[in-house]
A and B are shown apart, each in its own frame.
Chain A
């Protein structure tokens, strides 16, 4: 069965520093996608970054980058130059392949707090 694990319930980082949020996954599908979403206290889900299982390069979107290590089944999110507005819950998610394609499985989330 597909599974996403985020082992860090909470993380703290100083403003302007970088932070890594961990995500490991388990799937037997050769084709899958990995996503990171941000959920601020207002509650909406904001898409941050996507990595396909066949992508050769690590994905980057502005200050966000995804450290994709396929052999280790990890897809960690790196936020560079943290800002106070980055304080939020962050979810890692996996899009399934095969007959369950389309649906996302989410991890438990990591609460990030950025200190001034």
Chain B
């Protein structure tokens, strides 16, 4: 049973470009969470999605950031017009159900904005 897959593992973008981060949850998992880890810090929650629904986006910046989890295919975290402050590790986690279930993390995508 493959774990949570994220790609790309490393992404370099210039200021103003778009970054698209992909996450494929573990087989049988229908809940996806995105977290951001700035250098030397813990992870911060961004958004929680189920298939075709955003359940909680309270940690997502209001502008430039969006997330989706379509019926078919991976979850996508999109960052438009990236700035240097977006440089971070972005982790995706999945769980079978939200409550009383462990979230298993992917390897992360390291975004570097030049």
Interface residues in chain A, defined as those with a beta carbon under 8 Å from any beta carbon in chain B = 33, 35, 37, 43-47, 50, 52, 91, 93, 95, 100-109
Contacts and interface: CB of A to CB of B under 8 A. Distances in A.
11 contacts: A35-B103, A43-B108, A44-B106, A45-B93, A91-B42, A101-B98, A103-B56, A104-B43, A104-B45, A104-B103, A107-B42
A95 B97 CA distance: 13
Contacts of B55: 102
A107 B35 CA distance: 13
Contacts, number: 62
A91 B43 contact: yes
A44 B107 contact: yes
B31 A102 contact: yes
Interface centre among A43, A46, A50, A103 (most CB of B within 10 A): A103
Say whether chain B's binding surface is mostly helix, strand, loop, or mixed.
strand
A44 B48 contact: no
B100 interface: yes
A33 B107 contact: no
Interface of B: 31, 33, 35, 41-45, 48, 55-56, 58-59, 89, 91, 93, 95, 98-100, 102-108, 110
Contacts of B100: 33, 52
A102 B33 contact: yes
B42 A44 contact: no
Contacts of B108: 43-45
B104 A47 contact: yes
B98 A50 contact: no
Pairs of residues from A and B, 8 with the lowest C-beta to C-beta distance, nearest first = A45-B105, A102-B98, A106-B42, A103-B45, A106-B43, A44-B107, A102-B48, A108-B42
Given A102-B56, A107-B42, A35 B99 contact: no
Contact of B56 (A43, A93, A100, A107): A100
Contact of A45 (B43, B45, B98, B99): B43
A41 to B, nearest CB: 13
Given A47-B104, A47-B105, 18 more contacts: A35-B103, A43-B89, A44-B105, A44-B107, A44-B108, A45-B108, A47-B103, A52-B100, A91-B42, A102-B33, A102-B95, A102-B98, A103-B45, A103-B58, A104-B43, A104-B103, A106-B43, A108-B42
